[in-house]
Amino acid sequence: MMRRLTVISLSELCQLERIENHHIIEIVENGIVNPIVNTNSADATDNNKKSDWEFETASVYWIKKAVRLHQDLEIDWLAVALLIDLIQQRDALQKENAFFKQQLSRFTEY
């Protein structure tokens, strides 16, 4: 089964979510999210052109969260990147913990 990848362009993202272009550039430069590399492009060497950036729609959540953290807490983008990384680690640990709790409950039911 192939997973369908849904993408959104930089201009669409800015327009739909009302996020300024320079904020998204800062988010990418700090490694919070990464644009999708288009390997089907006729000119593969020009993939770094910002106007051609596309993002997975799943990364829109993290982009919006990063912008909110930057604006609400008035912290720089590097601190936002650290916070996002910690939030993602916490989420992964919570999922892992839930999985292990489920496994443990199988053994304690008897």
pTM: predicted TM-score of the whole model, two decimal places: 0.77
At 108 the pLDDT is 84
Centre a 10 Å sphere on the Cβ of residue 59 and count the other Cβ atoms it contains: 18
| pLDDT tens digits, one per residue of 42-65 | 544 444 588 789 999 889 999 999
Residue of 37, 32, 29, 8 lying closest to 80 (CA atoms): 32
pLDDT bracket for residue 66 (50, 70, 90): very high
Cβ 13 vs Cβ 58: under 8 Å: no
